[in-house]
Each structure stands twice: as structure tokens, then as C-alpha cells.
Amino acid sequence: MLLKPQDIYVLLKLVVLGPHHWSYAALASDLGLSTSQLHQAIKRSLTAGLARNRNDLILPDFLNLEEFLVHGLRYAFMPERGHYCWGMLTAHAVAPLKGRIKMNGEPPPVWPDPDGEVKGIAFMPLYKSAPMAARIDEQFYELLALTDAVRSGWAATFPAATQGLKNRLEAYSRKF
């Protein structure tokens, strides 16, 4: 069993949703996945110990998820970077890191997106529908951006990104 980037994408959405019942069809639609892709992502997350099933409710395992995000994510799912393009800001260019980290005048990282309003350097998201999903859920967007800052591997962003991610996960875990 190998984890896929969309498994983390799904888990981050479950973090934001909190301990609420959801349907596979609705969640898949919100994330731009098929229901079968969502089922498989949940199955892999449960097998890997990054989620658990409690009373028929799939919940992130916050301790294991944090450990993976902070210590393994940047090695397992290093982002593809590319060309100068239109897109949606990510990583250190989005709250809560926006303005805290200077990148010496380099263009910002963006998820390539034809509807994007900013030009920057392509930074491939965990899943291709991330821009769509982020537009409808600001909390999810910020969590994805923090995760991208960790994935980036940039020394200038790593400490602030990991601390921000830990703080967010701790805050969300209190709702569970």
C-alpha cells in the first residue's frame, strides 16, 4: 500500500470539517474527486494510520498526521515546480505566512490555474482540483498553503510553516 498525494488532500479536508458526518458523494464533489477516488484515499489513510474509524465516522489521527506532515511530506510528495504562469497563490504567499517570509524578489509560488489572478512560478498542488476546492473553503485553502510551504523544502519557510501547521492541527484537534 502506497499513499498518494490526494490522500493527504482528503485528510486535510477532514481536519477542517471537524467531527461531523459527511457523505462520500458530497465530500467528493467538494474536493473535485470521484467517489471511488475518495473511497480509496480513505482506505489508504486508515491503513497507514493517518485516520481512524470511530463509530462510523472517519477522523484524522492528529498525532500521526502531524508527524507525517512535518517529517515525511516533503520527501514523499515533493512538488513539481515549473514555468511562469497564471495561478492561485500558495505556500508562503498565503495567510498565515504571507508577509512573514521574504524570498528575495522571486515570483510567488502558484498552483497553475487558468482562472488564476496572479502570475508566479508553477507549484503543483497535492491534487489538481485544489484551486477549485480552496476557492470554496478558506480554512482548507490556508491549511493546503501551509502544507505546501512544508512540501517546498525551502529552508526560509520550513520553521514557520511547520510551526503554523502544528498550531492549526492542535486547534482543529480540540474540536474532536
> DSSP state, 90?
-
pTM, two decimal places: 0.95
pLDDT reported for residue 153: 87
pLDDT reported for residue 28: 98
- Give the CB-side neighbour count of residue 132, counting CA atoms within 13 A: 10
pLDDT reported for residue 99: 82
Residues facing 57 on adjacent strands: 54
pLDDT reported for residue 110: 97
Residues of the chain predicted below pLDDT 70: none
Could you tell me the residue ranges of all domains in the chain? 5-74, 79-173
How does pLDDT run across 33-76, given as a tens digit for each residue?
999 999 999 999 999 999 999 988 999 999 999 999 999 999 99
pLDDT reported for residue 19: 94
Residue/partner pairs of 155-159 with CB below 8 Å, 24 or more apart? 156/92, 156/101, 156/102, 156/103, 157/91, 157/92, 157/97, 157/101
**What's the CATH class of domain 5-74?**
mainly alpha
Give residue 50's identity as a one-letter amino acid code.
L
pLDDT reported for residue 101: 74
